[in-house]
Chains A and B, each alone.
Chain A
């Protein structure tokens, strides 16, 4: 997230300050919001799948691949979201986040460590001033089934514990029943509770049924001021897919064209190989543009992906295939 302002960062801060000026009319009532979201052009599902598939066929080799692997490592939100998480596991993961490949000092750090709110303090303590962010999931993750007060308290608690990024889940029930304003207001409220922390809005696209809904959710979250839009919790299948991510990238591109503000995108769950990650990077470049090829604007929510990136990186450096025995499991 842009702690040091880049050229686009002021725009992002503006995105954070209030719903884009042009959209105050839209978000005035449930009816106007519904009219706007349902007025968005529909997604051609077959076309979207085909385009995503064709973007996945690019061949990225040698120096471009080396660059892509390093960029992908810098974009990883190293995630552990399990009931069995312990302080020790989070500490180990945080150490790995700072120095993913202890055998190679040129290997960059990842973008963030993503944990449950109660472990944010542990992660913060280990990460210190390494520059790696602490992301915490909040708002009754992963189902989002809790009252507004509890969700806000959950958020404030995580921020107080040292999280500088909050991953919230939207209320899919409300979204699917068409109560868009409720979802909108909840995002706005959570964003307020975040204070200085950046907000990522998780749609759980696997539960949204259609690509049209993904596009609507993207616009809804951007209008509500989310800094990032994120595909999935990683707890349901299907999680992130290339077409869904592409549709979200189209949304952030269109949003910048309309408002001048940049919003980040984070696919999460199901991205396990370096090859997949590179396909996503190609899609980012082709759909949203090279401005998004930066850890401030694009992230991978992943745990196993990092090891494959490191193995590929080691393969490029040493010229021989590496194996999982040479990298830590978590």
Chain B
């Protein structure tokens, strides 16, 4: 039998439910933790970011308009498909993060579990963070959480799967759509996740994944007038860049989830904050007895 020729992969972006190449035509080499070649990934440019925001905006009202129960079902389906592709994620995590087989499996388990956990929140958020407010008059006064809109997410640089899930799932569970910039050095779990999302009933445009440098793409997202919020987790530790992005984001009063000083411990219980950071509270007054 002859020696089999390697199938060398050049991964693409995930925008609007499709897998386009970068508009720039550039790709970059992704190495494993030991420095050996693994694959090529598309190098996203500012125009890819622009297209991704356009796709996310187009998908936003439809996604937010689905019932919370339906969003929960779809997100649970994502977890199912992740579980089906378990071996692929384990391999990607091993290659990216240099973990041993059993540790990588544990990370994948945690990531799938976290996705399921967030899926469950879809139809429970309103009970927990919404309220029937007592008011001094014959009115029902109800506060309900509404999605902020299009959210740019800078995924953590080091935790390529668990960290990725921990910043992406809370954004979309409440009806936001996301433009996610993956880890530059460890993009493969994000690429795999894109393939999962494309085959698990998530409408095109709800999640858009750009592989590339946060330092080149993020300023365009932070300054983009049609992006409603930005999560700066991915630039943890780079205080100068984080400040620049916050300043750029101030122009249209984006909601900013600030960059922590160092990447957090992703295995810790996330709490509600990752979800509530991208919610707006709508309060309606309704006369009683009508």
B-binding residues in A (CB < 8 A): 319-326
The number of A-B residue pairs with CB atoms under 8 Å apart is: 27
Whether B226 contacts A325 by the Cβ 8 Å rule is: yes
Interface centre among A319, A320, A324 (most CB of B within 10 A): A320
Docked CA distance A325–B50 (Å): 15
Instruction: Please name 27 pairs of A and B residues whose Cβ atoms are closer than 8 Å in the assembled complex, sorted by A.
Output: A319-B223, A320-B220, A320-B223, A320-B224, A320-B225, A320-B248, A320-B251, A321-B50, A321-B53, A321-B220, A321-B223, A321-B224, A321-B225, A321-B226, A322-B225, A322-B226, A323-B57, A323-B224, A323-B225, A323-B226, A323-B227, A323-B252, A324-B57, A324-B226, A325-B225, A325-B226, A326-B225
How far in angstroms is the closest Cβ of chain A from B178? 16
Residue of B nearest to A314 (CB): B225
Docked CA distance A323–B224 (Å): 8
Residue of B nearest to A321 (CB): B224
B residues less than 8 Å from A322 (CB atoms): 225-226
B residues less than 8 Å from A321 (CB atoms): 50, 53, 220, 223-226
Docked CA distance A325–B53 (Å): 13
Residue of A nearest to B224 (CB): A321
- Number of interface residues, chain B, beta carbon within 8 A: 12
How far in angstroms is the closest Cβ of chain A from B189? 28
A residues less than 8 Å from B227 (CB atoms): 323
Docked CA distance A321–B223 (Å): 7
B residues less than 8 Å from A319 (CB atoms): 223
Q: A320-B223, A320-B225 are in contact. List 7 more A-B contacts (CB 8 A).
A: A320-B224, A320-B248, A321-B225, A322-B225, A323-B225, A323-B226, A326-B225
A residues less than 8 Å from B251 (CB atoms): 320
Docked CA distance A325–B61 (Å): 14
Q: In chain B, residues 34-89, which have Cβ atoms closer than 8 Å to a Cβ of chain A?
A: 50, 53, 57
What 4 A-B pairs come out closest when comparing CB atoms? A323-B226, A320-B223, A323-B225, A321-B224
How far in angstroms is the closest Cβ of chain B from A62? 15
Docked CA distance A325–B225 (Å): 8
Residue of A nearest to B219 (CB): A320
Docked CA distance A325–B227 (Å): 11
Interface centre among A319, A322, A323 (most CB of B within 10 A): A323
Interface centre among B53, B57, B223, B225 (most CB of A within 10 A): B225
Q: In chain B, residues 185-229, which have Cβ atoms closer than 8 Å to a Cβ of chain A?
A: 220, 223-227
Docked CA distance A158–B38 (Å): 69
Docked CA distance A326–B248 (Å): 17
Docked CA distance A319–B248 (Å): 11
A residues less than 8 Å from B53 (CB atoms): 321
How far in angstroms is the closest Cβ of chain B from A167? 32
B residues less than 8 Å from A323 (CB atoms): 57, 224-227, 252
Residue of A nearest to B223 (CB): A320
Residue of A nearest to B225 (CB): A323
B residues less than 8 Å from A326 (CB atoms): 225
How far in angstroms is the closest Cβ of chain B from A148? 46
How far in angstroms is the closest Cβ of chain B from A23? 49
How far in angstroms is the closest Cβ of chain A from B287? 30
B residues less than 8 Å from A324 (CB atoms): 57, 226
Docked CA distance A217–B220 (Å): 48
Docked CA distance A319–B224 (Å): 10
Residue of A nearest to B53 (CB): A321
A residues less than 8 Å from B225 (CB atoms): 320-323, 325-326
Docked CA distance A325–B220 (Å): 18
0/1 string, B234-258, CB within 8 A of A gives 1: 0000000000000010011000000
Interface centre among A321, A323, A324, A326 (most CB of B within 10 A): A321
How far in angstroms is the closest Cβ of chain A from B150? 9
Docked CA distance A324–B225 (Å): 9
How far in angstroms is the closest Cβ of chain B from A315? 9
How far in angstroms is the closest Cβ of chain A from B229? 13
Docked CA distance A324–B150 (Å): 13
Docked CA distance A321–B53 (Å): 10
Docked CA distance A324–B251 (Å): 15
How far in angstroms is the closest Cβ of chain A from B223? 4
B residues less than 8 Å from A320 (CB atoms): 220, 223-225, 248, 251
How far in angstroms is the closest Cβ of chain B from A97? 23
How far in angstroms is the closest Cβ of chain A from B214? 17
Docked CA distance A326–B225 (Å): 9
A residues less than 8 Å from B226 (CB atoms): 321-325
How far in angstroms is the closest Cβ of chain B from A136? 34
Residue of B nearest to A325 (CB): B226
A residues less than 8 Å from B50 (CB atoms): 321
Residue of B nearest to A320 (CB): B223
Docked CA distance A239–B220 (Å): 35
Interface centre among B50, B226, B251 (most CB of A within 10 A): B226
Docked CA distance A321–B254 (Å): 14
How far in angstroms is the closest Cβ of chain A from B151? 14
B residues less than 8 Å from A325 (CB atoms): 225-226
Docked CA distance A155–B263 (Å): 71
